[in-house]
Amino acid sequence: MQSERIHNFDSRRANRFKSRAFAAVLTGIATTALTGFAATALAADAGAPATTQRPVTDTYHGVNVSDPYRWLEDSSTQDVRDWSAAQDKGTRGYLDALPQRRPIYARLLRQISATSSSYYGLHTVGGQVFAFYNEPPKQQPMIGLLTNAADPALARVIVDPNILNPKGTTAIDWFVPSPDGKLIAVSLSENGSEDGALHLYDVATGKEIAPPILRVQYPTGGGSLAWRADGKGFWYTRYPGPDRPADEQHFFQQTYFHLLGDDVAKDVYVLGKGMPKVAEIALENRFNPKLVIASVANGDGGEFAHYLIDSSGAVRQVTHFEDQIVAVTAGADGSLYLISRKDAPRGKLLKLAPGVVDLGQATLLVAESDAVMLSAGQAGGDPIALTAKAIYVRELVGGPSRVSVFDHNGMPRGMLPLPDLASVDEVQPLSDGTLLYSIATYLRPPYFSRYDESVMRSSETKLLQTSPVSFADTEVVRELATSKDGTSVPINIVRRKNTKLSGADPVLLNGYGGYAISLTPEFLGANIRLWLDGGGIYVIANLRGGGEFGEAWHQQGALTHKQNVFDDFFAAADYLLARHYTDHGHLAIIGGSNGGLLMGAAFTQHPELFRAVVSRVGIYDMLRVERDPNGLFNTTEFGSVKDAGQFKALYAYSPYHHVTNGTAYPAVFMATGETDGRVNPAHSRKMIARLQAATNSGRPVYLSINSHAGHGIGSSLSVRVNQSADIYSFLFDQLGMRLPQ
């Protein structure tokens, strides 16, 4: 619940375009956008440094494709380092000279620093509640310890990375307390790399008690840990060592068991051999310490297999990828609760009796409904929470969420109380028979409410965040745009109350549309308050490819159907233009990662629609993405060039391959981090070089490269505020906006 997150960017008309691209593929001729290069070329963007072209031609299924900037992929060369330095120097020269940049930075820093502390990622052990603890203006979140009273005044800090590293570049990836609450296992990484080592701390003293265990976490497959019930050891994920080839070191994740006090060299292999190279293993035994659920994702496409590990270390498989089980939780009595999407794309709840691992014997507890049961691979806490009295199931309803309550026979017992347009990331049962659950809305800082099962009532707790930013003058309007194929696409419009639509207000449109990730309500914070005060309107589109309406919604925007995502985004833009929210000269778009791919596809397919684009840590070369260090993880979502049909779809929208010389592109600002293990920074380097050589609009194309940042996860407060100041200074300058005094 970090209220000042950079947009969920580490969280979109194309008949004419698609016809041309498909024709090029079918005739075996590369698109004209990447033909006829000289050895060197001056940048069409007069303010950009010239970039040498060294064309390389690849052939895919009989189609020749030219790549003029392949050399920019190798960050180890001096040529690339020099190029990157020149790009960043030019970007900083532009941004730092903007008269509004300094006051924007000062305002954001002041408001974010004045935001109160916040807690999230709760993990209960007995009467103790461990949590991430964020306290601006400190650079990094810490680990705090609370009681069932959930009173921040009684909290104490267990692990503080700001003390471990005063530079603020050490981040906590994740933590797991032991069953007795006396020890805590913590993954720590540097410079936003998410390349974590495991550290063990004594909770009472805060002292580290053992040497770190390396290679337990990486952004490709993540990392996790589950303690044995007696607290004398734990199962944990680990990646191959430096003795393996470089292209294997961040794949082939496996599970080992470590006995406290033993040398790591003695750790026992448990699970992982024979699994896909892109397996992502998550370990969990929160509601039954004697049964560890190992959830194995087949890359990032939404397929899962599940295994049980008992206290002796014996392993039994419960589900396979083809079973379409997307979450499993073990109850205190050994029963297994499973969310299935087989013949139920929005999910249904099944149950296996204690000791039974034959999925064919599962009984139906809760049938599919209008809401979407979350999967284990989606953001937030567990999809299912269990108590002695009830089952709590987190669900999505098109973006906003709810928590449905059932008894252990699947009979409905209502829902947890929530305001309108809210989301719940966490439902945490406490030892006193109550639950804490998080509540996030667009206009109020996040907070926790307590639900008392005995009286079925909810009350707010002291576990809340306050902010100097107020949205009392703001409203959120949820409307529907119609995509090219007739699909209704929700858009959430954030505007000041009584807004008179001039037809030329600055609008910032955000979207993602991939990996079944849903854009749910979260506090908009200082960034969007700044945008509104500058006269802007902010819009979030819930696009296909996300999980807002279930697996069918996701699949309609995945693999060979990815163009639907972009068409949905164009529909949102067209809606805002047709309803006189804005015009082409004041419409800006913003996204990152998969949302960066969305940005690239949007402005290459329809450059005339947008005035300015912000794209962070984006994916742009869809023909090379699977060759990236973690690229194989993406093939289950995007597809592979090895498959002729998937290549055809990838090539039809790949942003890098559809930049066309002499085109009036919008102003573009891209940002990347050198330690990004999720999206190769080479995508941003190549895309910027190509755009700078092609555009004739006279509008600038800039790239910011941060050596102390990765995908955005784990970045220090100062890095995050500086990135926000860069983004909004650029947008204010390009759209002619002014920040009120």
Active site residues: 593, 711
Q: Are β-strands 225-227 and 233-238 bridged in parallel, bridged antiparallel, or unpaired? A: antiparallel
Please give the structure tokens belonging to residue 387.
Answer: 């108590």
Rounded distance, CA 222 to CA 40, Å? 41
Angle at the Cα of 422 from the Cα atoms of 596 and 457, rounded to 5 degrees: 155
Whether 509 and 541 have beta carbons less than 8 Å apart is answered as yes
Task: Tell me the two tokens of residue 7.
Answer: 């947009």
Q: 409, exposed or middle or buried, with CB in 10 Å at 0-12, 13-18, 19+? A: exposed
Cross-strand bridge partners of residue 426? none
Which two structure tokens, joined as six digits, stand for 39? 């050895």
Instruction: Give exposure, 314-335, as e/b (b: 16+ Cβ within 10 Å).
Output: eeeebbeeebbbbbbbbbeebb
DSSP letter at 675 equals T
- Based on the number of CB atoms within 10 Å of its own CB, is 343 exposed (0-12), middle (13-18) or buried (19 or more)? exposed
Six-digit token string for 492: 């959430």
Distance CA 729, CA 735 (A): 10
Report the alpha-carbon angle 36-42-48, nearest 5.
Answer: 130
CA distances from 657 to 64, 186, 691 (A): 12, 42, 11
- Cα radius of gyration (the chain): 25
Task: HSE, CB side, 13 Å, CA atoms: give it for residue 302.
Answer: 27
Q: What single DSSP character describes residue 382?
A: -
Assess contact for 187 and 223: CB atoms under 8 A.
yes
Residue 284's DSSP bridge partners are 293
The alpha carbon of residue 444 and the mean position of all alpha carbons in its chain are separated, in whole angstroms, by: 22
- Per DSSP, the residues of 452-502 read ETTTTEEEEEEEE---S---TTEEEEEEEEE-TTS-EEEEEEEEETT----
- Strand 587-592 and strand 507-510: the pairing is parallel
* 3-class secondary-structure state, position 513: coil
Distance between terminal CA atoms of the chain? 30
DSSP for 695-727, written as a single string: B-SS--EEEEEETT-SSSTT--HHHHHHHHHHH
- Per DSSP, the three-state class of 173 is strand
Distance CA 476, CA 317 (A): 46
Q: At what angle do helices 563-578 and 644-653 cross, to 10 degrees?
A: 30
Which H or E run contains 163? helix 161-164
Q: Coil, strand or helix: which one is 323?
A: helix
Whether the CB-CB separation of 717 and 140 falls below 8 Å is answered with yes
Query: Nearest 5°: phi and psi at 433?
Result: 90, 5
304 sits in which H/E element: strand 304-310
Q: Residues 199, 188: contact at Cβ < 8 Å?
A: yes
Tell me which residue of 128, 117, 166 sits closest to 2, measured CA to CA: 117
